[in-house]
Amino acid sequence: MLTTIIYRSHLADDVPVSILPDMVKKASLLNARHQVTGILLFNGTHFFQILEGPEQGVLDIYGRICADRRHHNVVELMRDYSPSRRFGNHGMELFDLRQHPRGSVLQAVLDRGTSKYRLTYDDRGLQFLRTFVEAREKENYFEVLPADYWDFVPDENGSPAPAAGVTFRPVVDPLGREVTALEAIPDDAPEGLSGDAMYVHNLAAVTGALHRAGRSCPDDMMLYLSILPGTLVSVPDAVGRIVRAIDSAELVPQQIILGVSETEVISQLEAFSAAVRQLKQAGISLSVDNFGDGSAGLSLLAHVQPDRVRIGAAIVRNIHRSGPRQAVVHAVLRCCSALEINVIAAGIEQPEEWMWLEAAGVTDFQGALFTAEGAAVAWPETREAV
């Protein structure tokens, strides 16, 4: 199966441009042995490469490319399949954009193509090429520092006080060195329940967590709890019972954020919307969690208009290396900004994930990078400062 991978990257600062011809010559021979062809564009700082060939051959070559320390910030822009090669003459052909007049450089690149259609159709791969050649969308390209630029230093004073029967998972603003909310996770989560029994237990777990967390949650701290959307619809007076539990825990509704997962099926949207209106009327905020993991996120934004969106780990994992994930997050952030919805990025495990999302405009985070299981909150410090 003819596979295409397109990526961009940044030439390492300590690598001289003069080595490129020899590097490309060796790479072209290696690519040819894997039946991989393509073109490598260079603008003086960044590379852009199209790799085409048998799937395993392309994956092997791309794996080597990602491990090559002569460049960094490798971002995969596209992985797709096609009926024919766009650039089939060479294992790797180097094209230095600086050696061509700006007005004719794009056509000069396209003239290297081998497609029988002369590369004139609306081909995604060639649209990426055109964007790079014309230096468009630079504002969406973030140069992420190496992971070892940072140390994450535990702060025993910044960790929440423990509470029996509930685990706290902080939401943090890493650069502001601030815990902006606490997520309370009930310790009891029995399996095997379904239907009304599951919803009744879920409500009991939420109200119980409110009682237990209320003793430890500071007065000025937002408290985050997850709830099944079906609980708000199926259990009689669910919202009223939540409001009474908040009052009993000596909390105020304005402190509480209830999160519903996008992956949970909301079969009674109108009834759910009515419950959300009750929550908001009481002063309780709503969050759509695991945003991007399900299939109804945009519909919920339009229909329910939550106060917060929590992007799940499935979207943020390795986002610094994935162009498609970056595009999705850019779109979510633009949408949420237009709707004045706050965004939390959850499941952060790598410094590069955090750095890319911070550069994109996210300020609130959760994940093992900042709060490993049972450990104190860890704040980022540059190694020079440490």
H helical segments located in 321-364: 323-338, 351-360
Cα 344 from Cα 328, distance rounded (Å): 15
Distances (CA, A) of 298 to 134, 202, 263, 308: 32, 26, 12, 13
> Could you tell me the pTM of the whole model?
0.88
Q: Where is 298: in which H helix or E strand?
A: helix 297-303
Cα 85 from Cα 369, distance rounded (Å): 42
pLDDT at 104: 85
Distances (CA, A) of 10 to 6, 17, 37, 72, 318: 14, 12, 21, 5, 17
Q: At what angle do helices 351-360 and 323-338 cross, to 10 degrees?
A: 40
State the distance between the two ends of the chain, measured CA to CA, in whole angstroms: 50
pLDDT at 303: 80
Cα 221 from Cα 307, distance rounded (Å): 16
Cα 287 from Cα 225, distance rounded (Å): 10
Cα 243 from Cα 374, distance rounded (Å): 30
What residues contact residue 186 under an 8 Å CB cut-off, 6+ apart?
Answer: 165, 166, 205, 206, 208, 209
- The residues facing 261 across adjacent strands are 289
* Whether pLDDT at 145 is above 90: no
Residue-wise DSSP of 168-197: EEEEEETTTTEEEEEEEEES---SS--HHH
pLDDT, tens only, 84-113:
888 888 778 889 999 988 888 888 888 887
Residue whose structure tokens are 């290696």 = 30
Closest Cα partner for 292 from 341, 367, 346, 337? 346
**Amino acid (1-letter code) at residue 157:** N
Average pLDDT over residues 333-358: 95
Higher pLDDT, 41 or 295: 41
* Whether pLDDT at 327 is above 60: yes
Three-state DSSP state, 96: strand
pLDDT, tens only, 226-269:
999 889 999 999 999 999 999 999 999 999 999 988 777 666 77
pLDDT, tens only, 147-186:
888 999 888 776 666 667 788 889 999 999 999 999 998 8
* Whether pLDDT at 386 is above 60: no
pLDDT at 163: 67
What residues contact residue 139 under an 8 Å CB cut-off, 6+ apart?
Answer: none
pLDDT, tens only, 66-76:
999 999 999 99
Are 43 and 17 in contact, with CB atoms under 8 Å apart? no
